[in-house]
Amino acid sequence: MPAVISTAGLARTFRTKTGPVDAVRDLDLTVHEGEILGFLGPNGAGKTTTLRMLTTLLRPTGGAATVAGCDLATDPVGVRRASGYVAQSGGVDPQITVREELVTQGRMYRLPRPEAIARAAELARELDLTGLLDRRAGALSGGQRRRLDIAMALTHRPKVLFLDEPTTGLDPGSRADLWDLVRRLRDEHGTTVFLTTHYLDEADALADRLVVVDGGTVAAEGTPSALRLRYGGSLDATLQDTFLAITGRGPAPADSAPVAV
């Protein structure tokens, strides 16, 4: 399978008043076409920073990367054309309607107005937003708003979809719908999905492969089963225990437990 995302030594250091923060360090990643990649890691591990670099919103301070064959540094327009991004917190305008949001997004991708209108209707059907087209974006529930974010990211039928915690705050039904959508994108359109989540059951159910980052760099990668075997001790290990073992935040060994007095 050809690689659709490839990074080599990717890095981002933020300069802050209290000194430099190495949010991402020496990150080497390969994601294959049509793969659903679960990108996991504790709070502050560098997931969002990585996604922002791979979608050209943030300039790397080191290393290189390509997305759909386009180099981040020399062809950012190509990268943007090939990718859709749903940010950790959505960026819709609360005053305008769902229909206007979707049509405006289509126009931003230079669709002629009739096509932008048709695409908006199509996306609304896909994301179960048809009944909400005339509602103000500001009046949507959290889950409805998340579906709108995703619809907007799919406007130009991107080859790669970056989803930063797409199901946070969704009810179980909406979560299941989103999983179906992600699988359908992969199966019917060959879309590559790069997804971060803190829900390990979600990573287990959805991802073909997991990459765990910690401290800005890759701590482990493999299929959920391979990671269980290697870090959790057996195929029956929970992904939670496996994750905690990888990130060194597992339960303290018995002999170091505090002694009750």
From 38, 41, 224, 232, residue interacting with ligand ATP (rule: CB under 6 A): 41
Buried/exposed code over 212-242 (b: 16+ C-beta within 10 A; e: otherwise): bbbbbbbbbbeebeebbbebbeeeebebebb
- DSSP letters spanning 193-231: EEEE-S-HHHHHHH-SEEEEEETTEEEEEE-HHHHIIII
Rounded CA-CA distance 173/178 in Å is 9
Does residue 45 belong to the site contacting ligand ATP (CB under 6 A)?
Answer: yes
Q: What is the DSSP letter of 136?
A: B
Give 200's Cβ-side CA count (13 Å radius): 16
**Judged by CB under 5 A, which of 7, 48, 155, 167 binds Mg ion?**
48
Comparing CB distances to Mg ion, the nearer of 47 and 145 is 47
CB atoms within 10 A of CB 184: 12
CB closest to Mg ion, residue no: 48
Decide whether 23 or 123 has the Cβ nearer to ligand ATP.
23
Contact segment (CB under 6 A) with ligand ATP among 13-21, 125-133, 144-152, 247-255 equals 13-21
Q: Which is nearer to ligand ATP, 14 or 59 (CB)?
A: 14
Give 61 or 88: the residue with its C-beta nearer to ligand ATP.
88
In the list 25, 47, 145, 209, the residue contacting ligand ATP (rule: CB under 6 A) is 47
Spatial distance between the Cα atoms of 204 and 225, rounded to a whole number of angstroms: 9
Which parts of this chain interact with Mg ion (CB under 5 A)? 47-48, 88
Which parts of this chain interact with ligand ATP (CB under 6 A)? 14, 16, 21, 23, 41, 43-49, 88
